[in-house]
Amino acid sequence: MGQAPPQLRHRERDINSSPPRRDTDEADVRALQEENAELRRLVIQLSKLVVKNVMDHR
């Protein structure tokens, strides 16, 4: 892989050197997990619809 331009390398260094955030609220994490689970269900539902429609057109 090639090297990133200097401005991107500087930004990458800032991101990699910053400590992890400790102020993340547990409720926020829970809400994100619930949203993630719902999105997964929707992806599965959409996948089933796509497969069904592809099979119907054959």
pLDDT digits (tens, 9 = 90+) for 20-57: 666 668 889 999 999 999 999 999 999 999 999 998 88
Q: What are phi and psi of 54, to 5 degrees?
A: -65, -45
Residue with the two structure tokens 């800032």: 14
| pTM across the whole model | 0.52
Residue 25 has a pLDDT of: 82
The domain locations on the chain are 27-58
Alpha helix stretches (DSSP H) within 1-58: 6-17, 26-56
Instruction: Calculate ∠ Cα 38-44-45, nearest 5°.
Output: 90
Q: Mean pLDDT throughout 10-28?
A: 67
The conformation of residue 23, written as its DSSP 8-state character, comes to -
pLDDT top residue among 41 and 12: 41
Q: Is the pLDDT of residue 6 over 90?
A: no
Q: Are 3 and 9 in contact (CB under 8 A)?
A: yes
